[in-house]
Amino acid sequence: MSAIFQPVPPRSFLITLDTLEFHAQSWSLSATCTYAEQGSVTGGRYLTNAYTRARVLRLKGSFFYKDDPAQVVLPLDTLLTDKTRLAFSLRGVRYFAVTITSYTLSEEATRGVLDCTLEMLVTTPLTEAPAETETSTDTDTETEDTTDTTNTDASDTAEGDDTSA
């Protein structure tokens, strides 16, 4: 039995970086574990220490702007120079204390977007993101509407409890 290939429609993943909205089309994460060895008197080797080095997250995508690319360039540069620690979720993984180590921006005159490659340093352990925060740009609104409805229902129930008590 052969599998049928079904192409995935183009999509992006919305990541909020302080005040900027970045639409990531692709990402890569690299991590390394380093081991320290020490020789023994008899010529054997012992592992004396092992640690995980900081991870590097690379994002490729776009920033959208209305009139002036400085609306994106200046805040992005401030995030880099101030070493601002960022937190966001991407594809089910929560990233904390992430700092931007480099960025590359490019613009084509015919498009109202800035193509961007971001390189970020992730120094904290990775954790699983709550299901409602890991969304693509297509489902962001749906998730927010569900959350608002739940909060409204909880308020109505709490008010009902107060009046009956």
Q: What's the pLDDT at 115?
A: 94
Res. 163 pLDDT band, cuts 50 70 90 = very low
- Global confidence as pTM: 0.67
CA distance 103 to 25: 15
Q: What share of the chain is helix, strand, coil (3-state, %, to 5)?
A: 20, 45, 35
Average pLDDT value for the chain: 79
DSSP state of 4: P
Tell me the per-residue pLDDT of 7-23, one tens digit each, with 9 for 90 and over.
777 788 999 999 999 99
Q: What's the pLDDT at 141?
A: 33
> Does the pLDDT of residue 84 top 90, yes or no?
yes
CATH of 13-144 among 2.40.30.200, 3.30.460.10, 3.40.190.10, 3.90.550.10: 2.40.30.200
Q: At a CB cut-off of 8 Å and minimum separation 6, what does 89 contact?
A: 95, 129, 130, 133, 134
Q: Any idea where the domains of the chain sit in the sequence?
A: 13-144
Looking at per-residue pLDDT, the higher value among 30 and 165 belongs to: 30
CA distance 52 to 30: 11
Tell me the per-residue pLDDT of 100-136, one tens digit each, with 9 for 90 and over.
999 999 998 778 789 999 999 999 989 998 876 444 4
Cα 148 versus chain centre, distance: 23
